[in-house]
C-alpha cells in the first residue's frame, strides 16, 4: 500500500493527463479482474517505466566508466539517452497491455471450458435444485478455470452481499470477458425472471455449445493436416535441398552473388531455418484450438 501511495503521489497527475490515451486499460482492468483503481494502476505503470529508465541510465554509465570505454558523441547519446528511453517505453507498454493479455487468457479459458460446464449445469438442474445450488456446485470445480471463478463471484454476491440470484448473475455478466458466456448468463436471468424452465434452457445451450466445440475441433484438425503438409514440404524438404545444393555449388564455385557459399550455408543452418521454424510454431500457437 505504501508503494502504491508513492506511485500515485509521484505520477498521479501524469495518469490523469493521459487517462484518455490509456482508456483501453481502464476497461481491461475490469474484465481482467484486476482489483486496482485505474489511476493507481497507471501511476504504477509510469513509476516502473521511470525506474527502468533511471536504472538503465545509471548502469550503462557505470559500465562505461569502470571499463574506461571511450565512445564518440553519437554513441554516448545513444547509450545515455536513447537506450534508457527505449527500456522505459518497453516497460510502460508491457505493463499497459498486461490487463489486455489477462483478459485474453480469461476469455480463452471460459471458451474452452464452457461446453462442459454448461452440460454439468444442465445435469445438475435436472434434479430440480434452485439456481443458487447450481452456481455453488460449479464454483467448487476448479477444473472449469475462469468459469469456476465467475461462479464463485455469483455465490459471493449471494452469500456475502445478500443479493438475489438474478442481481448476482447480472452483476457478474456485466464484467465477464467472454461474450458468449455473458449472453448465457443474461439468458439465465431472463429465464428466471420470466418463470421459464431453467432445466430446458441449460440443456439447450449446453447441447449447442458442445456442438459448436465439436465443429471447431474438427475444423482445426483438418487445418492441422494442411499445416503438416506445408511443414514437410517447405520447412523440411526445401532446407535439405538447399543445403545439398550449396554443397554441390561450393565444389564448383565458392561464391555466389558476391557471398561465400559456406557463409550462406552457415547462415541457413544456424539462423534462417531456426527462425522460420520458430515463426511456424508461433503461428500454430496463435491458431491453436484447445481440445
Selection from 175, 168, 117 nearest residue 141 by Cα: 117
Q: What is the pLDDT of residues 72-115, one digit of tens each?
A: 666 666 667 788 899 999 999 999 999 999 999 999 899 989 99
Q: What is the pLDDT of residues 1-32, one digit of tens each?
A: 677 889 999 999 999 999 998 999 998 998 99
The whole-number pLDDT of residue 158 equals 93
pLDDT(51) > 90: yes
List of E strands, 120-270:
255-256, 259-260
The whole-number pLDDT of residue 139 equals 93
> Alpha carbon of 271 to those of 101, 127, 241, 276: distances in Å?
30, 61, 17, 9
SS3 99: helix
* Average pLDDT of the residues in 171-177: 92
Rounded to 10°, the helix 179-193/198-230 angle is: 170
Which of 33-47, 52-66, 114-128 shows the lowest per-residue confidence on average (mean pLDDT)?
52-66
Give the whole-number percent of the chain exceeding pLDDT 90: 47
- At 69, the pLDDT band (50, 70, 90 cuts) reads low
> Alpha carbon of 105 to those of 98, 118, 138, 158, 255: distances in Å?
11, 20, 20, 27, 50
Amino acid at each position: 500500500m505504501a508503494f502504491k501511495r508513492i506511485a500515485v503521489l509521484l505520477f498521479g497527475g501524469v495518469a490523469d493527463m493521459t487517462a484518455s490515451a490509456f482508456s483501453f486499460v481502464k476497461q481491461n482492468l475490469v474484465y481482467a479482474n484486476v482489483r486496482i483503481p485505474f489511476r493507481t494502476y497507471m501511476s504504477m505503470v509510469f513509476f516502473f517505466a521511470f525506474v527502468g529508465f533511471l536504472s538503465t541510465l545509471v548502469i550503462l554509465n557505470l559500465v562505461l566508466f569502470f571499463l574506461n570505454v571511450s565512445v564518440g558523441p553519437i554513441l554516448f547519446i545513444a547509450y545515455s539517452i536513447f537506450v534508457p528511453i527505449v527500456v522505459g517505453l518497453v516497460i510502460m507498454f508491457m505493463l499497459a497491455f498486461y490487463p489486455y493479455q489477462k483478459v485474453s487468457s480469461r476469455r480463452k479459458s471460459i471458451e474452452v471450458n464452457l461446453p462442459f460446464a454448461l452440460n454439468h449445469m444442465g445435469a445438475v438442474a435436472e434434479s430440480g435444485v434452485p439456481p443458487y445450488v447450481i452456481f455453488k456446485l460449479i464454483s467448487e470445480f476448479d477444473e472449469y478455470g475462469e468459469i469456476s471463478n465467475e461462479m464463485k463471484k455469483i455465490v459471493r454476491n449471494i452469500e456475502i452481499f445478500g443479493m438475489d440470484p438474478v442481481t448476482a448473475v447480472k452483476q457478474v455478466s456485466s464484467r465477464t470477458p467472454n461474450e458468449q458466456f455473458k449472453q448465457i448468463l443474461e439468458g439465465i436471468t431472463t429465464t428466471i425472471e420470466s418463470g421459464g424452465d431453467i432445466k430446458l434452457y441449460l440443456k439447450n445451450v449446453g447441447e449447442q455449445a458442445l456442438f459448436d466445440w465439436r465443429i471447431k475441433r474438427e475444423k482445426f484438425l483438418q487445418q492441422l493436416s494442411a499445416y503438416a503438409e506445408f511443414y514437410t514440404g517447405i520447412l523440411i524438404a526445401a532446407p535439405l535441398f538447399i543445403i545439398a545444393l550449396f554443397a554441390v555449388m561450393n565444389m564448383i564455385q565458392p561464391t555466389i552473388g558476391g557471398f561465400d557459399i559456406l557463409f550462406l550455408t552457415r547462415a541457413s543452418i544456424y539462423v534462417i531455418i531456426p527462425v522460420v521454424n520458430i515463426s511456424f510454431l508461433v503461428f500454430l500457437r496463435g491458431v491453436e484450438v484447445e481440445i
